[in-house]
């Protein structure tokens, strides 16, 4: 089987949840290839960090529901991709109770971060013009 050198995780043969995670990692990866690279380009090449005050976010970056939807999609992709990626790292280097504890901490952290991101993108008021 191991004829070639590769750097990705091998497709799980077990099926079920682990196989689903393997596919979703690739789907969210493709999603982030588009959204995260576009996001980085917008905030660094189209605009400059120096001008991106809280007021600028509300009026320019998040001035429309469409942009907020795109950014919320990116948040969904990145929460899954980053935390499940870290789960792979944890599984590679730990075992037993430590692994269980760290994995649970990652799941809890993902939930908190996703909630914080969702709250701010949904509730930041549009500027009164």
Residues of this chain that interact with other proteins (CB under 8 A) are 3-8, 11, 26, 29-30, 32-33, 36-37, 40, 44-45, 48-50, 52-55, 57, 75, 78, 82-83, 85-86, 89, 109, 113, 116-117, 119-120, 123-124
Shortest distance, CB of residue 64 to other proteins, whole angstroms? 17
CA distance 105 to 24: 21
Task: Find the shortest distance in angstroms from Cβ 81 to other proteins.
Answer: 9
Residue 1: burial class (beta carbons within 10 Å; 0-12, 13-18, 19+) = exposed
Q: Residues 22, 11: contact at Cβ < 8 Å? A: yes
Q: Which is nearer to other proteins, 55 or 96 (CB)?
A: 55
CB of 16 to other proteins, least distance (A): 18
Rounded CA-CA distance 103/109 in Å is 10
* Closer by beta carbon to other proteins, 44 or else 100: 44
Cα 67 from Cα 73, distance rounded (Å) = 10
């Amino acid at each position: 089987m191991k004829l070639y050198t590769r750097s990705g995780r091998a497709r799980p043969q077990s099926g079920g949840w682990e196989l689903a995670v393997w596919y979703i990692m690739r789907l969210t990866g493709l999603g982030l290839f588009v959204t995260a690279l576009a996001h980085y380009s917008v905030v660094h090449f189209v605009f400059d960090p120096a001008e991106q005050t809280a007021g600028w976010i509300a009026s320019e970056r998040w001035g429309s529901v469409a942009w907020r939807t795109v950014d919320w999609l990116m948040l969904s992709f990145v929460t899954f991709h980053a935390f499940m990626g870290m789960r792979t790292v944890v599984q590679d280097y730990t075992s037993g109770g430590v692994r269980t504890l760290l994995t649970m901490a990652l799941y809890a952290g993902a939930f908190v971060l996703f909630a914080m991101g969702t709250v701010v993108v949904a509730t930041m008021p549009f500027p009164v013009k």
